[in-house]
Amino acid sequence: MESLDAITLKAFLVALTQLEDSLPAELQREINAIGKEFPTGVSSLHVLAKGLAPLEQAYKKTRRILQADGERFRYVESDVEETTRSDEEEVQGLAIKVLNASDSVTLAKEIAIESVELKQILAQL
């Protein structure tokens, strides 16, 4: 997965955990459609986030944090690369579940409790 798609995916998953209510039915259907074709449609999550004001705000905030982290770690030695790869695989596995769920917000919140990667991002918010 391209690094920008990975940032988009993480930002979207974390943004879902910040919502108080479930998504509108139409937005949930669009997310489910992306889940069925994962990872092909990941880049369109950016556009979908704009469909709901609270989701867009949380998405933008999380994305800024992730991009700043990416800049900070750009020149770190490759011994971190193996850990990063396994973290990415974990997030992708969780994303497939969340994007295909009937209530992505509820499942994202449940999964965030168990995911080290998502917990680390949430701690920065």
Residue 112 CA to its chain's centroid (Å): 10
Q: Is residue 76 very low, low, confident or very high in pLDDT (cuts 50, 70, 90)?
A: low
Query: Hey, where are the domains in the chain?
Result: 3-124
Q: pLDDT tens, 62-73?
A: 999 998 876 555
Q: pLDDT tens, 27-56?
A: 999 999 999 999 999 999 999 999 999 999
Residue with tokens 């489910």: 32
pTM here is: 0.87
Q: What is the pLDDT of residue 102?
A: 98
- Residues 54 and 72: their CA atoms lie apart, in Å, by 28
| 102-105 long-range contacts, CB within 8 A, separation 24+ | 102/28, 102/32, 103/22, 103/23, 103/28, 104/16, 104/23, 104/28, 104/31, 104/32, 105/16, 105/17, 105/19, 105/21, 105/22, 105/23
Q: Is residue 122 very low, low, confident or very high in pLDDT (cuts 50, 70, 90)?
A: confident
Q: What average pLDDT does range 8-16 have in this prediction?
A: 96
